[in-house]
């Protein structure tokens, strides 16, 4: 049977590429490797993430959830709360749209650009098959669709639960644990959509660098788990709450 040539991503409209990342990531990344593109998917993911968060944070419930989140963040790093700090946090929580804009920018375009540079700097391309920054950026940008989907899915749950604590973590499977226990804190930091994103990202990197996807998944996920464990441990030692 004659293998069918891979169609360039230039012939794929954006909806097709998004669907491909979610359903057939390897074939999608092979097409992107041949004809890398990233601007349109970065823009769409950014707008979707920002809009989903802003719609929640601009409500009264969202404002209170953001205030609680900011307080928890200060507590997690051992900070002390006084009237002046609380007043500042109240003012910040009243600008939910700006917070949504900033976080969407960091989690979307800035993450893709920075992560792509790091991957190019760390990984070595196979002999005779150089990997360009544009190719890596195309992979990271399209993998980011998973993170945007996670943010959109979390938004209504944040509103319903009246807290910005991520509802889509391993903590879903450990509801009987004391929330202040080390295991509960660790489980709450393992976001299920981040794990999915790492798997998709590893597949894309394996296509570009001709490496085994399973090993890259283990390396990426292992690094994420170690970082989550260190954060959970640090929060526990400092007496804060995640």
- pLDDT per residue over 115-143, tens digit each? 999 999 999 877 667 899 999 999 999 99
* pLDDT tier for residue 103 given thresholds of 50, 70 and 90: very high
Q: For residue 4, is it within any domain? A: no
pLDDT over 60 (residue 60): yes
Q: For residue 6, is it within any domain? A: no
Percentage of residues of the chain with pLDDT beyond 70: 86
pLDDT over 80 (residue 238): no
Q: For residue 5, is it within any domain? A: no
Give pTM, 2 decimals: 0.85
CA dist., res. 202 & res. 208, Å (int): 10
User: Quick one: pLDDT at residue 230?
Assistant: 83
CB 29 within 8 A of CB 135: no
Which residue carries 């109240």 as its tokens?
90
pLDDT over 50 (residue 51): yes
Range with top average pLDDT, 74-78, 97-101, 140-144:
140-144
pLDDT over 60 (residue 3): no
Q: For residue 1, is it within any domain? A: no
CA dist., res. 199 & res. 221, Å (int): 8
What's the domain range around 167? 13-238
Tell me the C-alpha to C-alpha distance, in Å, between residue 37 and each of 10, 53, 72, 86, 150: 8, 26, 39, 44, 22
Q: For residue 91, is it within any domain? A: yes
Q: Domain total for the chain?
A: 1
Q: For residue 85, is it within any domain? A: yes
* pLDDT tier for residue 1 given thresholds of 50, 70 and 90: very low
């Amino acid at each position: 049977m004659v293998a069918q040539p891979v169609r360039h991503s230039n012939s794929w409209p954006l909806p097709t590429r998004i669907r491909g990342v979610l359903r057939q990531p390897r074939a999608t990344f092979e097409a992107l490797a041949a004809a890398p593109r990233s601007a349109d998917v970065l823009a769409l993911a950014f707008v979707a993430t920002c809009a989903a968060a802003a719609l929640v944070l601009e409500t009264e419930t969202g404002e209170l959830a953001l205030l609680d989140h900011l307080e928890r963040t200060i507590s997690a790093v051992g900070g002390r709360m006084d009237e002046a700090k609380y007043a500042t946090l109240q003012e910040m929580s009243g600008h939910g749209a700006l917070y949504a804009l900033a976080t969407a920018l960091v989690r979307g375009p800035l993450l893709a650009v920075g992560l792509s540079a790091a991957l190019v700097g760390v990984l070595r391309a196979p002999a005779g098959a150089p990997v360009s920054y544009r190719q890596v950026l195309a992979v990271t940008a399209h993998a980011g669709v998973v993170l945007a989907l996670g943010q959109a899915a979390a938004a209504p749950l944040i509103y319903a639960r009246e807290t910005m604590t991520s509802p889509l973590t391993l903590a879903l499977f450990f509801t009987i644990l004391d929330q202040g226990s080390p295991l509960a804190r660790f489980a709450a930091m393992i976001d299920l959509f981040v794990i999915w994103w790492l798997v998709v990202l590893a597949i894309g990197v394996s296509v570009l660098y001709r490496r085994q996807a399973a090993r890259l998944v283990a390396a990426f996920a292992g690094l994420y788990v170690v970082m989550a464990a260190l954060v959970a441990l640090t929060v526990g030692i400092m007496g804060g709450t995640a």
